Amino acid sequence: MEVPGEGSTFRNVFYALGYALGEGEARRGGRTTAPPEAHAVPSDAAAEPATEAAAAALGAAAGAWLITRLFRPRRVNWPRAVAAGIAGTALMKMAETIEDRLRVQASDGSREGSALAPAATVDGLGPGGGTESEGLETQARASHAGATAPLPIEPMDYAAGIATAAAYGAILYPRLPGSPTTRALVFSALEAAASGVGGTFGVLRRVAPGLALPLEALAPPGLHGRGPLPTLAFGLGLGLYRDGTDDDA
């Protein structure tokens, strides 16, 4: 005999039980399949690039500080620095004049060869034969006269030479080996090798931005854009520098 309401009660109980089981399964599935939050990148892994960048910046700062300490400027013998800067700049100007003359002589030889060919073949009777040769000769004479003329005295070149000699005496002279002439020639070789990257002091300034160079506000030290021969000539004049210590001999 069926109890009144028994079927409805059992149906309600099983319905509630099934609903509860369905909710639990859905929640469990939601926890396992919620990928954005569950599979996020750990905070330690995300912080690794920032940590490496901070370590690199700290290492660069420490290296720059160490180089600045190692290359701390020494006392400059100013009379010697001025004399060495002027002498080195004058020798450098002479070397540049010699280079220009050799270059003009080489170009004159090639122009004379090209100018004699039309004169010999057409004897000045061809169309433009004599006129072309005369024009080439006039141009060669003008360039030769310009190259043999003495170079004008440019105050900024001599100011840069004195600033280079002062920076050399404060930074590099006490730290290079050998006699004063040997040190100056070593510096000129370094300057020629580093001409493409801003010179010796340009390289030092990039690795140690806090490096103080004397007379930097007056003129930038260094032989910017000079060839090997003028740079070597400047080194010969720079050999006049002495700082007055016992190791100048």
More reliable by pLDDT, 50 or 198? 198
Inside any domain, residue 87 = no
Query: With bands split at pLDDT 50, 70 and 90, how would you rate the model's confidence at 221?
Result: confident
Inside any domain, residue 195 = yes
The whole-number pLDDT of residue 53 equals 79
Inside any domain, residue 224 = yes
> What is the three-class DSSP state of 173?
helix
The whole-number pLDDT of residue 63 equals 66
Inside any domain, residue 33 = no
Query: With bands split at pLDDT 50, 70 and 90, how would you rate the model's confidence at 195?
Result: confident
Inside any domain, residue 39 = no
Q: Compute φ and ψ for 240, nearest 5 degrees.
A: -70, -15
CB 248 within 8 A of CB 240: no
Q: Residue 152 above 70 pLDDT?
A: no
Q: Are residues 129 and 179 in the same domain?
A: no
The amino acid at 133 = S
CB 188 within 8 A of CB 237: no
More reliable by pLDDT, 174 or 39? 174
Of 125, 153, 181, which residue sits at a domain end? 153
Q: Are residues 196 and 222 in the same domain?
A: yes
Inside any domain, residue 159 = yes
The residue count for the chain:
249
This model's pTM is above 0.95: no
Of 121, 138, 153, which residue sits at a domain end? 153
More reliable by pLDDT, 117 or 204? 204
Inside any domain, residue 204 = yes
Chain Cα centroid distance, residue 122: 55
Q: Are residues 207 and 183 in the same domain?
A: yes
Q: Are residues 168 and 141 in the same domain?
A: no
Q: Residue 181 above 90 pLDDT?
A: yes
Q: Residue 78 above 60 pLDDT?
A: yes
The whole-number pLDDT of residue 147 equals 47
Q: Compute φ and ψ for 192, nearest 5 degrees.
A: -65, -40
Query: With bands split at pLDDT 50, 70 and 90, how would you rate the model's confidence at 57?
Result: confident
Residue 238's domain spans which residues? 154-243
Inside any domain, residue 140 = yes
Does the CA dihedral 248-84-88-225 come out positive or negative?
Answer: positive
Does the CA dihedral 124-127-129-132 come out positive or negative?
Answer: positive
Task: Count CA atoms closer than 13 A to 149's CA, side-chain side.
Answer: 9
The amino acid at 43 = S
What residues contact residue 81 under an 8 Å CB cut-off, 6+ apart? 162, 165, 166, 169, 241
If you average pLDDT over residues 219-242, what whole number do you get?
90
Q: Which of 14-28, 74-88, 182-196 has the lowest mean pLDDT?
A: 14-28
Does the CA dihedral 35-36-38-40 come out positive or negative?
Answer: positive
If you average pLDDT over residues 20-39, what whole number do you get?
56
Q: Are residues 146 and 131 in the same domain?
A: yes
Q: Are residues 226 and 196 in the same domain?
A: yes
More reliable by pLDDT, 161 or 23? 161
Q: How many domains does the chain have?
A: 2
Q: Are residues 183 and 234 in the same domain?
A: yes
